[in-house]
């Protein structure tokens, strides 16, 4: 692995874009590229390594879940520009915060009171891919994905 690649990984770690475990895994890979240059139109731009890893997991049949893997812990919302391939919006929320938000929101919005968190959680755990929403707006040039992992 080149010095530039190592530096790039450490910068992503320092910026909070990848975890220490992900950085260690990337650093231990022998001479593997840090990112897939075909994933973006501009080869000089460096995409978010974590996003590329999430995309690879979503491309597999089971969304990257291993047999007997733990239940999902995060809700991810991603809006991607179709022309450039770059993310316009990335939001990652722990599912515990989503549950809390639903409880608080139920006090202000009666529609949320009828939703059963346990039922939602069971549905998310049973999903094979983890993808909740996958919409491509050709006219607006955006791809929206909402998924759990």
39 occurs within a structural domain: no
Beta strands in the chain, from DSSP E residues, in sequence order:
74-81, 87-94, 131-137, 142-148
pLDDT (tens digit per residue) in 63-119: 444 545 567 788 899 999 999 989 999 999 998 888 888 888 888 887 777 788 888
Kindly state the average pLDDT of the residues 53-62: 54
Q: Does residue 87 contact residue 44 with C-beta atoms inside 8 Å?
A: no
Distance CA 54, CA 87 (A): 13
Pair (103, 130) in one structural domain: yes
pLDDT at 56: 58
Highest mean pLDDT among 5-9, 30-34, 73-77, 109-113: 73-77
Instruction: Provide the residue range defining the domain that includes 17.
Output: 1-34
3-class DSSP state of 66:
coil
CA separation for the pair 86, 73 (Å, rounded): 25
Q: Are residues 29 and 53 in the same domain?
A: no
**42 part of a folded domain:** no
DSSP codes of every residue in 13-52:
HHTTSS-HHHHHHHHHSSS--SS-GGGSS-TTS---HHHH
Percentage of the residues of the chain whose pLDDT score is greater than 70: 71
Does residue 55 fall inside a structural domain? Answer: yes
The answer to whether 63 touches 147, Cβ cutoff 8 Å, is: yes
Give the pLDDT confidence score for residue 12 in this predicted structure.
80
Most confident of 6-10, 100-104, 136-140: 136-140
Which is higher by pLDDT, 76 or 11?
Answer: 76
Number of domains observed in the structure of the chain = 2
Say which residues have a Cβ less than 8 Å from residue 16's Cβ, sequence separation at least 6: none
pLDDT number for residue 45 = 46
């Amino acid at each position: 692995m080149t010095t530039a690649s190592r530096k790039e990984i450490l910068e992503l770690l320092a910026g909070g874009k990848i975890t220490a475990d992900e950085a260690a895994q990337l650093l231990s890979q022998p001479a593997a590229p840090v990112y897939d240059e075909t994933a973006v139109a501009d080869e000089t731009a460096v995409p978010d390594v974590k996003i590329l890893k999430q995309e690879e997991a979503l491309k597999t049949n089971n969304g990257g879940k291993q047999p007997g893997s733990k239940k999902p812990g995060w809700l991810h919302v991603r809006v991607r520009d179709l022309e450039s391939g770059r993310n316009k919006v990335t939001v990652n929320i722990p599912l515990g915060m989503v549950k809390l938000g639903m409880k608080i929101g139920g006090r202000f919005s009666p529609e949320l009171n009828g939703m059963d968190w346990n039922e939602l959680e069971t549905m998310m755990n049973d999903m094979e891919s983890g993808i909740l929403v996958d919409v491509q707006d050709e006219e607006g040039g955006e791809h929206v994905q909402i998924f759990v992992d």
